[in-house]
Homo-oligomer: A and B are copies of this chain.
Amino acid sequence: MTVEHDISMSARADIFKALGHAARLAMVIALGKGERCVCELQEVVGSDMSTVSKHLTVLRAVGLVEADKRGKQVYYSLKLPCTLGFVECVDKALRERGH
């Protein structure tokens, strides 16, 4: 068997849903290069810090990222690096049909 069926379909879908937003996906890709604090991620996506923080809450809720508070800053890191592999496959498909 390749794909398991005893895991809730919505639990799986929630992970995709969390990645289904340009800002959140951009942050996950940035985290692929190493941990970043919220203010650094804010620069990546360019929106209000409160918005960034809420996006990070979504990513944390599904276990895609992990938060580590150190001093005044909170550092986020990627817990599911295989996400980047899928992004590459998606990119390949998008390139093939000419973005």
Contacts and interface: CB of A to CB of B under 8 A. Distances in A.
Interface of A: 2-4, 6-22, 24-26, 29, 32, 63, 79-80, 82-91, 93-95, 97, 99
Q: Indicate how many identical chains form the complex.
A: 2
A63 to B, nearest CB: 6
Contacts of A88: 2-3
A2 to B, nearest CB: 6
Nearest to A14: B20
Contacts of A82: 85-86, 89-90
A65 to B, nearest CB: 12
A89 B99 contact: no
B12 A94 contact: yes
